[in-house]
Chains A and B, each alone.
Chain A
Amino acid sequence: MTTIENLLGADAGLATLLDQRRTIMELTEASGTAVLTPREPGGLPHGLRAAIALRAAAAVQDEELMAHYRARLEACPGGVSFATFAVPGTMPEDTRLAAILRHADLLTVEPRGATRDDIEGLKAADVTEPDIVRLAELCAFLAYQARLLMGLRLLRNA
């Protein structure tokens, strides 16, 4: 059972449907692991990633996803040090961390507004190029997951 299916709960009709797209559900799960708890986290520790995920779940106003990521953040070693930044609008004093969270918010809420200056701003705040790509993949996956989950709920309830 994948994370998304666990979040959806038991529904026989939906289960039959998703079994026809089993490879996609499994690649979705593997992608989630790769962005949330990668073997090589670079400059984005697992706790920070869980906090960004919780912040993104709040931005899309998905209470089930918020509960999921709140639990993951609490279970994550070192997660507690990032918990205060999991609330949208809060900003740490550390300039690198603040730049990362500001960019995460932009990617989640209004990616259409992103420009070259945003990437230059991250570089100026000492975010490395690999970490810029890791951050984009994380936030982009979260956007995908939230929409897939919402779409599946609509199919489940119909």
Chain B
Amino acid sequence: MMSEVVHAFTAKIPVWRPYVTPVDPAQATEEQRDALKVTPSNTKVSDYVLVLAHDPESLTHRTPLFNAIMYGAGGLSRAERELGAIGASVVNRCIYCAAVHASRYNQLTKSTELVEEVFRAGADARLPAREQAIYDFAVKLSRCPPEAGAADVERLRAAGLSELEILDLVLAIAIFGWANRLMHTLGEPVAGSD
């Protein structure tokens, strides 16, 4: 039975159904297994990562890059990196990424208000000053061609962000320009079975 495809933004994490056949771990080449970090004790890998294993050279570097940008020590807070990810995911309409990172944002901030407003109003969401500066910058930098300018960076500074925090925000937004283009174009979100 085909589950229903999710078309609206939600903080409830859907299941990701690939359009491309995932690599079978049992048939994977040594390079693919290295990229997947498959070990005899850890064979559980998501379909998403198994799809990306078709290109092990990219996957090998992208996984630690993504983790360093989103979870590295110091600089911008975890929650505000997630807000950058949400802004990119709204522009690129990656329902799955938006759900995962909205859910993390809600957990980290112990609140659901911001995410509700973002999902209601999209790029036009009205937020508190610091969050507004971060979100608007994420939306503008994610467009094609990107629309962010010096005035947007001035707003981030005025909202209290340091140079390092702005750099971390740029990285979080940019890496979601990447992640959205994989997740949203190589598969689709379907409603979970629970």
- A: residues with CB less than 8 A from B are 13, 17-18, 20-21, 23-24, 27-28, 30-31, 34-35, 38-40, 59-62, 106-112, 114, 116, 118-120, 129-130, 132-134, 136-137, 139-141, 143-148, 150-152, 154-155, 157-158
Contact = CB atoms under 8 A, between A and B. Distances in A.
Given A31-B65, A151-B141, A151-B174, A118 B58 contact: no
B174 A31 contact: no
Given A148-B174, A155-B163, 5 more contacts: A111-B181, A137-B52, A139-B181, A147-B142, A147-B173
B153 A143 contact: no
Contacts, number: 162
Contacts of A146: 146, 177
B117 interface: no
B64 A136 contact: no
Main secondary structure of the interface of B (DSSP, over half): helix
Interface in B175-189: 175, 177-182, 184-186, 188
Contacts of A114: 184-185
Contacts of B40: none
Contacts of A59: 144-145
A133 B146 contact: no
Interface stretch (B8-16, B106-114, B164-172): B164-172
Interface of B: 19-21, 51-52, 54-55, 57-58, 60-62, 64-65, 68-69, 72, 74-75, 91-94, 141-142, 144-146, 148-150, 152-154, 157, 163-164, 166-168, 170-171, 173-175, 177-182, 184-186, 188
A36 to B, nearest CB: 11
A99 to B, nearest CB: 14
Contact of B65 (A28, A38, A130): A28
B135 to A, nearest CB: 15
B54 A133 contact: yes
A137 B35 CA distance: 15
A38 B92 CA distance: 27
B171 A155 contact: no
* Best-buried of A31, A118, A157 by chain B (most CB within 10 Å): A31
B57 A34 contact: yes
A143 to B, nearest CB: 4
Contacts of B58: 31, 34-35, 38, 134, 137, 141
Nearest to B177: A143
Contacts of A143: 144, 174, 177-178, 181
Contact of B171 (A13, A111, A148): A148
A134 B68 CA distance: 23
